[in-house]
């Protein structure tokens, strides 16, 4: 596997402009001869499909939900960054670039991050023109808020529903193209394989989730924008259907998987309440502006939160990180909460929680101000927990939330399979080892609206149209493989539910490849996961048939892929002998327990190449060079 990042030469600030000029173009009249398959209709896929259709390409777009409007981008609450500097507070493209590289703990590619910052401004322009009702000041101009990891106010937002509004904007643009016949939309369709012919991605195999029909789709290029894989942990803030299937099947067909161990555990989620629980709910990070995080000083504290006197509370973030306090970055806050709970100081029935207390803020500002700022979040919290956060502190606990790892892509967003492009959370490119808040929405839309429309033309222009059809033996072969696998799942006839396998896998991953990892835990997991997978294929219970709407079968296919992918994650975590960003290896820490990065040996992207079933994948490295931003140790004390 050759990893050529195709980074343009010259100063980072001029690279994208130069690259755009250097790339090949396709004559407008010829564009309609090319067919592009876009898998995913979230911010990344939706924006790409709409824009490519506007340009004249034939586009087919796929999603597993009943409508493209329901992709999980819809759930983002907080906001989207852009270097507009409307607040005149010293922001610039360069500063956004700098903050993002540093926030990612120096494990992202500078050239990509710079381009992301550069196009961030176009995104906001585009979204406003689409009629997205961003929050505004009384002056009528756009409002901003600040987010973690930045000293400027550059986050645009639409109530607490920014992701929803951005996605509905992309969905509107997509709907317009569907209405014109320029995009053919395939809903309730799950991609189960990709077809590579003569070394190029030429199509995909899907299963119609309503009828079970296995279908081939031929294209001149394929785009995957299928989101993240946090559901490998079973419980996460992702939607129930979020999966690694599309990315993982591409990996098995030769696409390199980059940094799979980089996952983000978000510090402020509602703790798990019971065994039956199916997902975790995020409470926006913005709450940490006014809430104070604490645990009791004494183990086994039985009193209600409000009865614990001040001198028996440990405001541990304020104590350990006096200058950032409750606004310490996500990776640090999450890890500290875990430490407190591991030490037996956790709160709530399960002991897996810490308090987020608004008592002092309400005293200082009054209940109305707090209600104004966080009213909808407080309501959501109360609906789920039946506790009133105005009078009793919230209980929060970290939860898997975002995956920085993903399919490896070059500067053109192309994977190691020529013709297969990967956008949004599904690729690995821009966030290094830790993503800053409000930057995933930015990346998804940057990739879809402003990067892929240019870079895909460059790829297509280099390849002649060849009249490929689904009758090609490779398509038939892939269809047969998908059908066989489905049949195999349905014929296991075991006694144990698919869900229980997923839960057990999640437990293994959370305990050993979650907030903190160590060699022993990872090595053990690398034994446990194959054993669990073996048992799955012997004993899973998958009812029903293929030719029907069969949710158990759907789920089983996804869990089967998680059961393989989890191993690659653990391998990656084991190989990365340092602590950086969301990846905290217990063996590598300073005396004060802070992350210890190793720039001498680990300043690279780790890329995994599939080498066949039950064979260890091959590791490759893309070295990272920091020419603009100096490598420094992050400190939040």
Partner 1 sequence: MNLTLHIWRQKNANDKGKMVTYKAHDISTHMSFLEMLDVLNQQLIEKNIDPVAFDHDCREGICGMCSLIINGKAHGPWSATTTCQLHMREYKDGDEIYIEPWRSKAFPVIKDLVVNRGAFDRIMQSGGFVSVNTGSAPDANATPIAKEKADLAMAAASCIGCGACVAQCKNASAMLFVAAKVSQFANLPQGQIEKKARVQNMVAAMDREGFGNCTNLLECEAACPMSVSANFIAQMNREFFAAGIK
Ligand X SMILES: Cc1cc2nc3c(=O)[nH]c(=O)nc-3n(C[C@H](O)[C@H](O)[C@H](O)COP(=O)(O)OP(=O)(O)OC[C@H]3O[C@@H](n4cnc5c(N)ncnc54)[C@H](O)[C@@H]3O)c2cc1C
Binding interface with ligand X (CB under 6 A): 39-45, 62-65, 71-73, 75-80, 162-163, 190-191, 225-228, 237-238, 243, 245-246, 282, 401-402, 424-426, 438-441, 444
| Closer of 11 and 133 to partner 1 (Cβ) | 133
Q: Which is nearer to partner 1, 15 or 231 (CB)?
A: 231
Q: Count of CB atoms within 10 A of residue 57's CB?
A: 27
Name the E strands within 452-603.
496-497, 540-541
Give the nearest distance from C-beta 356 to partner 1 in angstroms. 18
User: CA-CA distance, 248 to 191, in Å (whole number)?
Assistant: 11
Residue partners of 274: CB distance under 8 A and separation at least 6: none
Q: What does 66 bind: partner 1, ligand X, none (CB cut-off 5 to 8 Å by kind)?
A: partner 1
Residue 105 or 190 with smaller CB distance to partner 1: 190
The minimum distance between CB 597 and ligand X, in angstroms, equals: 24
The nearer residue to ligand X, 149 or 228, going by C-beta atoms, is 228
The interface partner of residue 63, options being ligand X, partner 1, none and the CB cut-off 5 to 8 Å by kind, is ligand X
Please give the Cα distance from 117 to 81 (Å, whole number).
Answer: 9
Given 95, 188, 330, 555, which residue is catalytic?
330
Residue 424 binding result from partner 1, ligand X, none, given CB thresholds of 5 to 8 Å by partner type? ligand X
442/44 Cα distance (integer angstroms): 10
User: What, of partner 1, ligand X, none, does residue 78 touch, CB below 5 to 8 Å by kind?
Assistant: ligand X
Complex with partner 1: residue 21 or 138, whichever CB lies closer: 138
Residue 216 phi, psi dihedral angles, 5° rounding: -100, 140
Q: How far apart are CA 458 and CA 185, in angstroms?
A: 25
CB of 316 to ligand X, least distance (A): 25
* Partner from partner 1, ligand X, none contacting 42, C-beta within 5 to 8 A by type: ligand X
Work out the number of other CB atoms within 10 angstroms of the CB of residue 406. 28
CB of 330 to ligand X, least distance (A): 12
Q: Which does 69 bind (CB under 5 to 8 A by kind): ligand X, partner 1, none?
A: partner 1
CB-CB contact of 278 with 240 (8 Å) = yes
Q: Where are the alpha helices (DSSP H) in 253-396?
A: 316-320, 330-342, 359-365, 367-385
Out of partner 1, ligand X, none, which partner does residue 44 contact, by CB within 5 to 8 A per kind? ligand X
**Which are the contacts of 464, defined by CB distance < 8 A and separation ≥ 6?**
none
Query: Pairing state of beta strands 189-197 and 354-357?
Result: unpaired
Decide which of partner 1, ligand X, none touches 439; Cβ closer than 5 to 8 Å per partner kind: ligand X
**Three-class DSSP labels, 491-519:** CCCCCEEHHHHHHHHHHHHHHHHCCCECH
Of 99 and 578, which has the nearer Cβ to ligand X?
99
Closest C-alpha to 572, from 400, 337, 403, 399: 403
Instruction: Work out what residue 43 binds among ligand X, partner 1, none; the CB cut-off runs from 5 to 8 Å by kind.
Output: ligand X
- Output 320 or 435, the one with its CB closest to ligand X: 435
Q: Smallest distance from the beta carbon of 253 to partner 1, in angstroms?
A: 27
Side-chain half-sphere exposure of 110, counting CA atoms within 13 A: 21
Distance CA 583, CA 577 (A): 10
> Which residues lie across from 541 on neighbouring strands?
497
Burial code (b: 16+ CB inside 10 Å, e: under 16) for 314-348 equals: bbbbeebbeebbbbbbbbbbbbbbbbbbeeebbbb
- Please choose which of ligand X, partner 1, none residue 126 contacts, taking the beta carbon within 5 to 8 angstroms, the exact cut-off set by kind: partner 1
CA distance 544 to 486: 11
Task: Report the partner that residue 125 touches, choosing among ligand X, partner 1, none (CB closer than 5 to 8 A by kind).
Answer: partner 1
By CB atoms closer than 10 A (0-12, 13-18, 19+), residue 148 is: buried
Smallest separation, CB 241 to partner 1 (Å): 5
Q: What angle do CA 25, 27, 33 make, to 5 degrees?
A: 110
Pick 515 or 574: Cβ nearer ligand X = 515
Q: For the sheet containing 200-208, what is the strand order?
A: 189-197, 200-208, 214-218
288 is catalytic: no
> Which residues lie across from 414 on neighbouring strands?
421
Nearer to partner 1, 92 or 281 (CB): 281
Phi, psi angles (nearest 5°) of residue 529: -65, -50
Closest among 184, 188, 222 to 204, alpha carbons compared? 222
Give the span between the Cα atoms of 613 and 225, in whole angstroms.
25
CB atoms within 10 A of CB 375: 12
CB of 410 to partner 1, least distance (A): 22
In the complex with ligand X, the residue whose CB is nearer, 239 or 340, is 239
604 strand-pairing partners: 623
Between CA 15 and CA 24, with CA 20 as vertex, the angle to 5 degrees is: 135
- Judge whether 413 and 214 are in contact, CB under 8 Å: no
- Nearest Cα residue to 506 out of 236, 228, 227, 226: 236
- Residue pair 306/383 in contact by the 8 Å Cβ criterion: no
Q: Which is nearer to partner 1, 437 or 521 (CB)?
A: 437
From first CA to last CA, the distance across the chain in angstroms is: 42
Residues labelled catalytic: 330
């Amino acid at each position: 596997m050759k990893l050529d990042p195709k980074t343009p030469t010259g100063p980072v600030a001029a690279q994208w402009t130069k690259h755009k000029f250097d790339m090949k173009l396709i004559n407008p009249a010829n564009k309609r001869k090319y067919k592009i398959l876009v898998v995913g209709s979230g911010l990344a896929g939706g924006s790409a499909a709409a824009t490519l259709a506007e340009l004249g390409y034939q586009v087919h777009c796929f999603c597993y939900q009943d409508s493209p409007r329901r992709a999980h981008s819809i759930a983002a609450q907080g906001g989207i960054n852009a270097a507009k500097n409307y607040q005149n507070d010293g922001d610039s493209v360069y500063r956004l670039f700098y903050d993002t590289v540093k926030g990612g703990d120096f494990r992202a590619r500078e050239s990509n991050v710079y381009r992301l910052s550069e196009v961030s401004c176009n995104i906001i322009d585009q979204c406003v023109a689409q009629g997205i009702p961003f929050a505004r000041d009384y002056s009528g101009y756009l409002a901003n808020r600040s987010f973690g990891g930045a000293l400027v106010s550059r986050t645009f937002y639409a109530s607490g529903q920014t992701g929803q509004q951005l996605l509905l904007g992309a969905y509107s643009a997509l709907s317009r193209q569907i209405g014109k016949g320029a995009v053919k939309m395939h809903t309730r369709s799950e991609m189960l394989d990709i077809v590579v012919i003569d070394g190029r991605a030429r199509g995909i195999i899907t299963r119609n989730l309503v009828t079970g029909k296995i279908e081939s789709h031929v294209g001149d290029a394929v785009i995957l924008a299928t989101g993240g894989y946090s559901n490998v942990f079973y419980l996460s803030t992702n939607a129930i259907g979020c999966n690694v299937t599309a990315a993982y099947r591409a990996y098995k067909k030769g696409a390199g998987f980059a940094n799979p161990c980089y996952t983000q555990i978000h510090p402020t989620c509602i703790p798990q309440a019971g065994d039956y629980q199916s997902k975790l709910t995020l409470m926006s990070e913005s709450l940490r502006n006014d809430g104070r995080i604490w645990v009791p000083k004494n183990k086994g504290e039985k009193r209600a939160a409000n009865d614990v006197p001040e001198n028996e509370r440990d405001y541990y973030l304020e104590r350990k990180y006096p200058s950032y306090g409750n606004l310490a970055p996500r990776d640090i806050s999450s890890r500290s909460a875990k430490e407190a709970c591991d030490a037996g100081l956790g709160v709530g029935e399960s002991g897996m929680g810490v308090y987020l207390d608004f008592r002092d803020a309400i005293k200082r500002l009054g209940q109305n101000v707090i209600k104004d700022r966080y009213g909808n979040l407080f309501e959501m919290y109360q609906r789920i927990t039946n506790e009133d956060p105005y009078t009793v502190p919230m209980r929060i606990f970290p939860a898997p939330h975002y995956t920085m790892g993903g399919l490896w892509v070059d500067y053109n967003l192309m994977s190691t399979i020529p013709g297969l492009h990967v956008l949004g959370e599904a690729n690995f490119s821009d966030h290094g080892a830790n993503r800053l808040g409000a930057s995933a929405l930015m990346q998804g839309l940057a990739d879809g609206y402003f990067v892929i429309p240019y870079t895909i033309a460059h790829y297509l222009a280099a390849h002649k149209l060849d009249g490929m059809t689904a009758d090609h033996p490779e398509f038939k072969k892939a269809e047969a493989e998908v059908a066989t696998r489905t049949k195999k799942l349905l014929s296991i006839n075991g006694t144990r539910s698919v869900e229980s396998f997923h839960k057990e896998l999640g437990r293994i991953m959370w305990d050993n490849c979650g907030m903190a990892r160590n060699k022993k835990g990872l090595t053990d997991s690398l034994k446990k996961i194959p054993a669990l997978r073996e048992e799955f294929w012997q004993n899973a219970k998958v009812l029903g048939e293929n030719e029907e709407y069969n949710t158990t079968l759907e789920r089983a296919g996804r869990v089967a892929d998680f059961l393989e992918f989890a191993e690659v994650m653990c391998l990656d975590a084991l190989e990365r002998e340092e602590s950086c960003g969301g990846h905290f290896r217990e063996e590598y820490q300073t005396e004060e327990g802070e992350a210890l990065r190793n720039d001498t040996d680990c300043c690279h992207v780790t890329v995994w190449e599939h080498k066949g079933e039950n064979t260890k994948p091959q590791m490759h490295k893309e070295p990272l060079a920091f020419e603009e931003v100096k490598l420094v140790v992050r400190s939040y004390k």
